[in-house]
Amino acid sequence: MLKSIGTKSILFPLPVLLIGSYDEAEKADFMTASWGGVVSSDPQCLSVSVRPERYTYNNIRKNRAFSVCFPAVKHAEIADYCGIFSAKNTDKISDLNLKVSKSELANAPILDDFPVNIVCRTKTDFDMGTHTVFIGEIIDMLADPSVIGASGFPEIDKVDPMIYDLATKTYYSVGAPIMKAYTTKRKNK
């Protein structure tokens, strides 16, 4: 029998994202975020939830733009580092020797060696308790050709993205495919 276990802001699986932004001196910062997702397909929008104490917060506020980069499993330590240390105290870009360029469409940094970078312009934002939710309209996607499939978009097995488990504070990789979606037939017909 199921039992009531209390409550926690939890979903499976949570993504591991790096949110890129520029500060007033045009210095790039990347912050790890798991609290993000897709919110709309028209307009094409993503959400990221950022606490106001993050250095990233004022950067996004100022620029009304940010990037969302997908680390691959091989970038796990980089992703963890960007989730522990703040640009308030260190330069994560030089600490990690990251190669960064600037989006041609918005004031947002791109991680050149990451498989996928999404460039967003902030459409709206609102405070929700501990976090501010930034809704970003996707204005560009940059992908390494090696992760692009027949659909013309990045494919999960090629990207090899990271997953975060909030309950155990552990990173996972994606498992094996189960079946094609939208293929199940109606029963008793």
Ligand X SMILES: Cc1cc2nc3c(=O)[nH]c(=O)nc-3n(C[C@H](O)[C@H](O)[C@H](O)COP(=O)(O)O)c2cc1C
Q: Which residues bind ligand X (CB under 6 A)?
A: 29, 31-35, 49-51, 54-56, 80, 83-88, 164
How far is the C-alpha of 42 from the C-alpha of 150, rounded, in Å?
Answer: 23
Task: For the CB of residue 53, give the shortest distance to ligand X in the complex, in Å.
Answer: 8
The pair of structure tokens assigned to 100 is 């960064």
Q: What's the min distance (Å) between Cβ of 40 and ligand X?
A: 19
Nearer to ligand X, 44 or 86 (CB): 86
Give the residue with the Cβ less far from ligand X, 42 or 127: 127
Q: Which amino acid is at 42?
A: D
Instruction: For residue 135, give every residue at least 6 positions away whose Cβ sits within 8 Å of its Cβ, in sequence order, or none.
Output: 39, 45, 46, 47, 122, 123, 124, 125
Q: Which is nearer to ligand X, 33 or 78 (CB)?
A: 33
Residue 41's beta-bridge partner residues?
44
CA distance 34 to 73: 15
Shortest Cβ distance from residue 21 to ligand X (Å)? 8
Which residue has its beta carbon closest to ligand X? 83
What is the C-alpha separation between 67 and 109, in angstroms, rounded? Answer: 6
Closest contact distance (angstroms) between CB of 156 and ligand X is: 19
Q: Are 35 and 14 in contact (CB under 8 A)?
A: yes
The minimum distance between CB 59 and ligand X, in angstroms, equals 8
Residue 147: CB minimum distance to ligand X, A: 22
**Closer residue to ligand X (CB): 39 or 148:** 39
Which CB sits closer to ligand X, 74 or 149? 74
Q: Pick between residue 50 and residue 159 the one whose CB is nearest to ligand X.
A: 50
- Per residue in 46-85, is it b (16+ CB within 10 Å) or e — as a string? bbbbbeeebbbbebbeebbbbbbbbbbbebeebbebbbeb
